[in-house]
Structure 1
Amino acid sequence: MKSWLPIPASSHFSLSNLPFGIISTSTQVKQRPAVAVGDYVLDLSAFAHGAGFSKLAPDLQQKTDVFAQATLNGFAALGRPYHRAIRNYLQEVFREDTPYPEVLKTNNALRQAALVPLSKTQVHLPLAIGDYTDFFAGRNHAFNVGTLFRGPANALQPNYNHLPVAYHGRASSVVISGTPLRRPWGQALPAPGADTPVFRPSARLDMELELGMFVCRGNALGEPIPLHEAEDFIFGYVLMNDWSARDIQQWEYVPLGPFNAKNFGTTISGWVVLADALEPFRTEGLKNEVELHPYLRNKRTDNILDIQLEVSITTTKGNKTTVTKTSSKNLLWSWPQMLAHHTIAGCNLRPGDLFGSGTISGLDAGTHGSFLEQTQGGKVPIKLEGGGERKFVEDGDTITITGWAVGTDGEIVGFGDCVGQILAAFPTVHSQK
């Protein structure tokens, strides 16, 4: 799909992609929806105001007021057929042989108003997140970590292959890529074998390589989402770093699971890649050997997305080291299965709810999605470019997650970067007087 707008071949934001996000600029601080295309964004508020949707079907034009809103929740709630129609229309507008040249290609006034260099925008959280659920669908990660603590024979808990395990995270601390986070304070055991905790900044701060999925439709309280309908509830995907304080987590997670070890921050990338854009990259995931209950049985076999994923660490000296290369094929559970299981007891989802995949890891060295796995619990340090090493994330370190897929035509469908830097813990934590 060649465009009249120059799009670098290496761009994550090709015409095959057109991800949606929320931007502001120095000249217009109001947050509004946009689409990333090459090195530019199309300001959808300005585009709509300038009659950019004039060639869209009239019934679809009536709903373009959602592009004046400060989040993508309204757009998401219109459903996948509407998302598909808008994306297809914008692809037509940007095509070199566009049937609508007067809309943007030859409309200098609208181009000047609506096309903004990506470098001159600030990207914000794309949706208002009401709830956030983090799954544990990366079986290799579950096995790797379970082996560290319980040995290979007992690495996976008995329920793991029977249902998509998850915990409810904290939506308020989900932050956009580029937002620094403080190292958390918490209770942790000072040494192996100790039974009395100390209170300190986390000494084993980790990252977790994940994908995130935004829900576009809600279901009524008490009414589960059938697996065969679950695809219709998927808006799109982002990259995710579910930061984890391993020492705090080890002490607090029994019996009710993660709490402060996770809720200090979760970083996501800013551009939502629509579900339709990733349809060409469906594939088979990890095979499940158990007989599933009917509500979790997929009829299709290509239920997992094949997205290439990389993680790098950049130190305060500027040295950057790629530490992970893996694929999202390393998931046991599909997003529709997660949706079906999440609602099977009657839980009602809402547009803007965020799901995390859980850490995505391979089994080989260099494919692990967390430092905990890579360093075997801190026993084998990661060697860094320019010297130095890491067992866990140190103050000043920046973690960058990148993800993309390449189509048969060579066009890239990517997410951009998911970037987060860890700052030192607050110097003091006030105690009760």
Structure 2
Amino acid sequence: MRSEIVDIPSPVENEPTQDTESQHGEIEKPGLPERQDAFGDETNAEIKYKVLKWWQGGLLMVAETISLGILSLPAAIAGIGLVPGLILLIGLGLLATYTGYLMGRFGRELFGTGQLLFLIFLMASHILTFTVALNSITGHATCSIVFGLVGLILSLILSLPRTLEKMSWLSLVSFISIFVAVMVTMIALGIQNNGAAVKPVVEANLVTGIMSACNIAFSYVSHNTFFTFMAELKDPKDFPKALALLQSIDIALYIVAAVVIYYYTGADVASPALGSAGLLISRIAYGIALPTIVIAGVINGHVAAKSLYVRIFAGTDRMHKRDWVAMGSWVGIAFGLWVIAWVIAEAIPVFNNLLSLITALFGSWFTFGFTGMFWLHMNKGLWFSSPKKIMLTLLNSLAICVGVILCVLGLYASGSAIHNNPTSASFSCAKTE
């Protein structure tokens, strides 16, 4: 059979020409363009994509979002102080919840390249963290290039399934492992220490302050893949449930982990945070967290590979077959993307620096800036039509401002940090930090 891209009628195409009320209670413009289903008719398909339940989509987003972001938060709070850190954690979390609810309505042609690069850099951050973890477990300076290659091979093997539904159970394992690893670290710190000198506010220079803000923002920057999860849901209208599951878990866990680890370690907190409780505990914690480090990166790699695979094979029967051409193409695309990610991880081998650069280049726009622009564009002429619209106009304008600030200042801060870091050793056998 040959699958085809199917036009899905717009829910407002038959509505009157005047402004209408959306299902969210907002005034919307009529005549929105028809949406297209890239997966086509799956009635008799050998491989079906649109089978994801809302809780499976939520778990996938939890695994992808919480994995690395949580490991940089205690150091980020140590860099700017407890009060500003909590304000950013809660404020950016609430803003990210709202922007995640809006994502999905943008031109694939215009932003496809940026999204793909974003995903590749996220994949690189997971390879780098995998290398840091193995360095910590072995306890001595081992060849980081070799560890990075091991991470690449593992990620490629786990990337073989072509549907997110088959990866949803891996996401549950991922969340459990990072949760247990963080709990082990917090409990060990509570036993070892009596509490450090926690500072409500810390005097920080521009680079340190912006780097901390970027690392906090990084923990919420997975919005770029949310629309992919929506595409494979049985019922895309269930997406708000998945988003609510994600944000209720990640904001609560981020606050608890960041505050507790910072409280017991103070300014000397390590980043990634699993290295804060001493050599033995860090080895145990990293060992427990290894599934998360790999699986969450694999989910990003899966989405990146699928974005190219769909572009190449949409409208053909290859989308739903398991023959050698289909599988060979999928493996080839995944391999190429992971090689590029490995090169990036080796070129920028410092955890905080890479995370900040990702936030500045991509997360600032895909998580905050673009979303505000989309809303303003879709509601052009209605910005001040009601008190609710005025509040939403201000909120989305704030999202754009946050994106611009994170991009401009984040690029300066991360660039300065990469340039001035004496421990950075690209493509070497030095121990990765």
Q: If the length of structure 1 is used for normalisation, what is the TM-score? A: 0.24
Query: Greater helix percent: which structure?
Result: 2
- Give the structure with the higher percent strand: 1
Asked which structure has the greater RCO (Cα within 8 Å, sep 6+), the reply is: 2
